[in-house]
Structure 1
Amino acid sequence: MGNIEKITQFLNDSCQLMSYQLWEKVNEDQFSLTLSYGIEERLSFSTNESATRTYDFNIEDKRLFILRIGNHQQLTVVEQQQLESLLQIHHLEKMLKKEQFIRKKMMESIREISAVNDLQSLLTKILENALSVIPVADFGVLWMYDEEEGALLPKAWVGGPGEDIQHMRMTIGEGIIGKTFLEKRSMLLTSYQDVLTESSSITVENMQHLLSAYTFEDLQSVISTPILVEEQALCVLIIYQKGQIPLLTVEDQQLLESFSDQVSIALMNARLFQHLKQQNELLRQRDHIHHTLMNLSLQNTGIQMIVNEIRRILQLRLVVIDLIDNSIFASPRHWFEESDYKRIFIIPDRPTFSKVETEEGMICCYIQPIVGVGQTLGMLLIEVEKQQLLPLHKMIIEQASAIFALEMIRKQSIVDSFYKKTHDLFREFIQCKDYLLLEKKGEELGLQSSAFSAVLFIQLPISPDLQGMNVQTHILIGEIRQIFQDKVAIIFGFDNKVTVVSQFQRQVDDLVKRTKQLQMNWQKMKYSALKIGIGSLYQGFENIAKSYHEAEKALSFLITRHRDGIMHYQDIGVNRLFIHQTQEELTSFVNEIFEPLANDKTKYPLLEETLLAYMAHNSSVGETAKQLHIHVNTLYQRLKKIEEKLNISFQNAEDMLKLQLACYLKGMVE
């Protein structure tokens, strides 16, 4: 039993209606009669019949059905709900059938794209399928841009236009068609006046041909959509609807855009066929180049040899910049110096053309990021003008960047092994208590016994991407070497931390200045924030462990306070006493003092402010009262209330120390 039969049975048997009409929305405010029983069918939907009662039924928030029954009858709430469920099923089935029909026509068009060799016949067939799924449309025309004539020409039409239409030549921006082509966006016009307005720019000659080809007296609505190939407009697909009222909708516009995509595919196929030989040749050259570069990599010839080979193939000057250790590999040698690299402030995250300042002046370059394990490892920079870069060049550059990424990761693995060894030696060094053995291990690490030494302990945020974090560690070490230069005596990464031992020949401490420069550069590179602990500057091997532990404590202070940035051990001050206390522990201690005061709702609501002022003025009653703008007696009353609330005495030294600590720490935890 179909849905209509189920609805009829429900109205007749379950509701026992003696007369009724069921109207279904067709378009906008138009309704068609679906069922009629006991009421004259000639009665139109708009008739205001006092002998009938009406019920509206909304499906998907739209007024889609109206039931008219005899005035002496009515539906219960339950019957209305049951009928609404049946109508919803009926509506969904209709929509499903419509979608199945559209999909069928789409599939036919897709099959024809690969089956029909004649482009003209294919375009006509696609246009016919488009009109079949938009039944309210009367005719359609496909316009294609002709570069020789510099105008849009009709290439296919369905639905009745006469032969005169093929004499039309629409320039870009002319009428609905020219405007759609120019703006690369579809248009839906639902009034004859709008159509006339948009068509006002059509030339007299084109208008004569158009009117000769078709009669537009009762034209109501138009949809015009561009056809794009590789973001470039090539065609315009336009359909027209005649009648009494506008019937084309936004849904029809979306359908037509779908068919315009099919035309785009057909045109793309034609282009691909024309360039097939060229692509085949390109693939052959790609295989040869890939084989050459892979051989160089497998032979472990190094990055410089690969750079030289790529220059030989491209016949263009280029340079590879390894961001992990800031090394440069140029071909020809020395045409691009380290000073030139420092002028590149922004590392692109995708291939781009850019002007780069060098010792020779400004040059135009193509910059290809070298990416591995989700991180930018370096840059491949080729000196070339935009119009000179061929597709073959881009293909070579992409392949080369992949080879360079492999080389950099391989070099990184070797460095990781060295860092592990350095880490183990350094741990033995700082734990050594025998001075003679300490000197021996210091010399093995390359340290100078007479120099002044300071240790930096740097932490990167922990990431589940261990490979990516490892790459960031290497890049950070490269940046540290760049800034500290010969002041770096020992440096290594371990887990998410980097340890640096810097040495100076005299006790001139520009360590903090260099560290701030490191932090600023790291922020420019848009990496995650660093936590940096700095130990004090000491002379002698035996004090390096002391500086290391100070840096460790400074870093621990930042970690427990959930802060990023730089902390010098000397700047911690009294906070050294709280390094190993967590933020939560300090907050708890402060709250023990201030919560009883803050919660006091008596005539002393400002006890917390009073205590802070009293401690800030070193227990001076006069200065505190002056700051709080109160009488001394009022202050004494508040102080007495504080003693009662906290069960302490301002005369007790231990209580005073506790209060001073709480007031000091309050500024830290807030």
Structure 2
Amino acid sequence: MSEKASAQRWNAGDKETDLHMKILLESFRTITSTLELDEVLNKIMLCAFTMFRSTDAGYIQLFDEQSEKLIVRAYVGFNDRIRSFRVSIGESIVGKVFRDGCVRMLRTTKEIYDQMADLSEENFHILHSAIESKKTVQSLLSVPITYGEKRIGVMTLHRFEKEEQPGERDLLLLQSFASHVAIAIHNAQLHEEVQKNLDEVTCLLNKLESTNKLLQKRMDIHNHLTKISIENKGLDSIIMEMNSLMGKTVVFADYLEGKCYPSDSLSIEKVMADLFVLFKTRTKPAYARISDFESFHYIYPIRSASAFLGCLIVEGDAPLSIEERLVLEQGAPILTMEVMKNLSRSDVLYRKTYEKYHEFLKIKNPIQAEAAIRELGMSIKKFIQTVVIELYGNSDPYALANDARSFVTRMQKVLPPENRLVMSYNNKIVLFSTTSNEHDQSKWIDLVKKMVDDWNKRFTVAVRAGVSTGIYYHGYAEENHNKAEKALLYLKKQNKKGVFHFHEMGIGRLFLHHHPSEMESFLSETLSLLWTDQETYQELLHTLISYVQSGRSMSATAKKLHIHPNTLYHRIKKIEGLLGLDFDNYEDYLSVQLAVYLYSRFYHIADE
């Protein structure tokens, strides 16, 4: 090789090394920029996927002390079935890597499968069904994740092609990744401990002394605050008067509006989300130490029947005097009345907007549609987005409607203010917006998804949303709205929360409005005993589902079921006999395909 060629090769190697180091350093910055463990692990996997060109897939498993299993927490190149891959200490390759604390770099399929010989049948099936490409692993890298002396988990990378094999540099880089993942896990655990260090001290209120003096004091306070409310001076004036009567700092954290009164209480606003999680289901007041504050506060939940409206917050941990408690007790119903007045005005506005919006949906004439949308304070742009949101999980419709109002307030703060409508009615919310380009459209939907996810992580009342997008033309807005409703109905039928886009529905849209009894009748007629006597024919039903989902491939189905092709052939013939169908007949097989789809989608979702 000439000196020039040799120099070019070395320069290329240096450039590749520099690139790897840049990616590695970026991953380190990613780790230290957040304390959300799942987010860090997912970013690490993506960085590893970018850096190691000899990698097609990979996953990180963390050790769960309760189950004593290695559990997949982040992955790339696999489908969701990989989440069920749980390995015992010493089991297969990853179990031995964790047990011994030694790396494994395997460069041949035979070597890999030899070391997987003790993998359980269940885990073997899960691992192979999780590989989207259905290809064979050609090489494997696996390293332990250790913090100090403590073993935390294992990181494993797979390669399905033979062209590039992992080298020693890949192994060293992967070990470096693993060490920083360990740091991230340790930091996240410390963060969780700090978050849990919110001590709650509950104190019982002394009974009010029923003396004439206290009765008069109670009446005076009530009349004074009622007068302010009647004069429509607003929440700020009522709270300021309560501050004056108590001689202490009193703040009202409004759950529906997502802000504090007095309006300059910015320090409390920063921790309102945590406060609402703690007190949303409470009916009695309590002392609590709020995050970011060293001292205790007295928290007084404000409710209207079953609906949570917010909290009165009194600074300090000193016991309240009888007079101070009187101010809170008499102020609470006045505040409730004031909030309900504001709420009533908002509901009227939403109702009028909702009616005008539905009038706009019906308009087919483009000029009239333009005028109607301008009346709603919007303008027509190229792309249209409709989101229909539903809150569920509480049998009380009034409380659900209240949560929906609170969710609307959160959206009003996050979503761009221009060119959008937000309407709430009962436990449902409609978002309508138009944007100039697909990027803004995607960004808008991503914001909605983040809000839904954040809510579902915090509260027991769940949120699901159906989304529909497209290019706007006159008359299309109603169709777009109906698609969002159908996407929501699809989630509802599967009893799932989160966000679902209409375009992801596929053939499922054809069965949305079919009654369950109608689908069950079809399954009973088509699948015969496989449906009506599933306990007896469980094996044959599972075989049929695998056969259909594998595209009638005998080899793929046999491999999936871990049986010989001849065994599979006899099972298929037996199934045809039980069903009285011929799978080579187009209509017979189409009926079976539809039956398998309905069973998997609407009756046995766990197999999906």
TM-score (norm 1): 0.53
Are the equivalent residues in 2 in contact too, given 1:459–1:531 (CA < 8 A)? yes
Q: 1:317 to 1:538 in 2, by over 3 A?
A: farther
Deviations 1:286-338 (A, max 9, x none): 2221111011111111111112212222222222122112132217x456464
In the TM superposition, what whole-angstrom CA distance separates every residue of 1:362-399 from its partner, at most 9, and x where no partner exists? 44322211111221111111223324x32211110121
Change (3 A) 1:288 1:576: same
Deviations 1:596-621 (A, max 9, x none): 346799x9995334323332332223
Letter of the 1:559 counterpart: K
Aligned to 1:579: 512
Whether contact under 8 Å (2:527, 2:592) holds in the other structure is no
1:384 aligns with 2:326: no
- Are residue 608 (structure 1) and residue 555 (structure 2) matched? no
Looking at structure 2, the residues matched to 392 and 558 of structure 1 have their Cα atoms a distance apart, in angstroms, of: 52
Distance 2:242 2:538 in 1: 78
Matched residues in 1 for 2:303 and 2:531: separation? 56
1:398 to 329, 335, 352: 329
Q: Matched residues, percent identical? A: 27
Within the candidate set 239, 257, 262, 1:330 is matched to 262
Question: How far 1:429 moved relative to its partner?
Answer: 0.7
Hey, what does 2:353 align to over in structure 1? 422
Q: How does 1:628-639 map to 2 (within 5 A)?
A: 628=561, 632-639=565-572
Counterpart in the other structure of 1:595: 528
Q: Is the CA contact 1:354–1:367 (under 8 Å) kept in the aligned structure 2?
A: yes
For these two proteins, the number of residue pairs brought into alignment is 395
Structure 1 residue ranges, 4+ long, deviating more than 6 angstroms after superposition: 598-601
Q: Deviations over 1:84-140 (max 9, x none)?
A: xxxxxxxxxxxxxxxxxxxxxxxxxxxxxxxxxxxxxxxxxxxxxxxxxxxxxxxxx
Contact 1:598 1:605 in 2 (8 A): no
Within 1, Cα distance between the matches of 2:451 and 2:507?
Answer: 27
Who is 1:375 aligned against?
A: 307
- 1:231 to 1:593, Cα distance in 2 relative to 1, 3 A: closer
**Deviations 1:499-537, CA, capped at 9 Å, x for gaps:** 111444542314454334333444466453333211125
Larger Rg, first or second structure (1 or 2):
1
What is the aligned partner in structure 2 of residue 354 from structure 1? Answer: 288
Q: Aligned partner of 2:290: which letter?
A: V
Question: 2:363 is aligned with what amino acid?
Answer: C
2:194: which partner in 1?
Answer: none
Using the alignment, how far apart are the partners of 2:459 and 2:560 within structure 1? 46
Report how far residue 659 of structure 1 moved.
1.7
Note if contact 2:381-2:434 (Cα within 8 Å) is conserved in structure 1: no
Question: How far did residue 666 of structure 1 move?
Answer: 2.0
Distance of 1:416 and 1:600 partners within structure 2: 52
Separation in 2, partners of 1:311, 1:403: 15
8 Å CA contact 2:271–2:291 kept in 1: the answer is yes
Deviation per CA, 1:23-64, whole angstroms, max 9, x where unpaired? xxxxxxxxxxxxxxxxxxxxxxxxxxxxxxxxxxxxxxxxxx
Whether the aligned pair in 2 keeps the contact of 1:365 and 1:383 (CA below 8 Å) is yes
Aligned with residue 298 of structure 1, among 195, 213, 230: 230
Does 1:442 pair with 2:373?
yes
Q: Which amino acid aligns with 2:574?
A: K
Contact kept, 8 Å, 1:538 with 1:544, in 2: the verdict is no
For residues 650 and 319 of structure 1, do their structure 2 counterparts lie closer, same or farther at Cα, with a shift above 3 Å needed? same
Q: In structure 2, what is the Cα distance between the partners aligned to 1:439 and 1:382?
A: 51
Distance 1:564 1:231 in 2: 38
| Alpha-carbon distance between aligned partners in 2 of 1:610 and 1:588, rounded to the nearest angstrom | 22
Equivalents in 2 of 1:364, 1:526: separation in Å?
Answer: 24
- Counterpart residue type for residue 317 of structure 2: E
How far apart are the structure 2 equivalents of 1:378 and 1:604? 55
Cα separation, 1, equivalents of 2:358 and 2:434: 18
The question of whether the paired residues in 2 share the 8 Å contact of 1:323 and 1:377 is answered with yes
Q: Gaps (5+ residues) in structure 2?
A: 1-202
Indicate conservation of the 8 Å contact 1:477/1:498, yes or no.
yes
**Structure 1 residues 305, 615: CA separation in 2 closer, same or farther (over 3 Å shift)?**
same
1:317/1:662 CA distance change after superposition, 3 Å: same
Query: Does the 8 A contact of 2:304 with 2:336 survive in 1?
Result: yes
State the partner residue of 1:313.
245
User: Structure 1 residues 410, 527: closer, same or farther in 2, change over 3 A?
Assistant: farther
Q: Determine which of 412, 427, 432 is the counterpart of 1:501.
A: 432
Contact in 1 for aligned 2:229/2:334 (Cα 8 Å)? yes
> Given that residues 598 and 607 in structure 1 are in contact (C-alpha distance below 8 angstroms), is that contact kept between their aligned partners in structure 2?
no
Q: Report the TM-score when normalising by structure 2.
A: 0.58
Which segments of 5 or more consecutive residues in structure 1 lack a partner in the other structure?
1-229, 233-267
Partners of 2:253 and 2:312 within 8 A in 1 = yes
Within the alignment, does 1:624 sit opposite 2:552 as a pair?
A: no
Secondary structure of 1:481's partner? helix
* Mapped partners of 1:462, 1:341: distance in 2: 23
Which of 388, 404, 416 is residue 457 of structure 1 equivalent to? 388
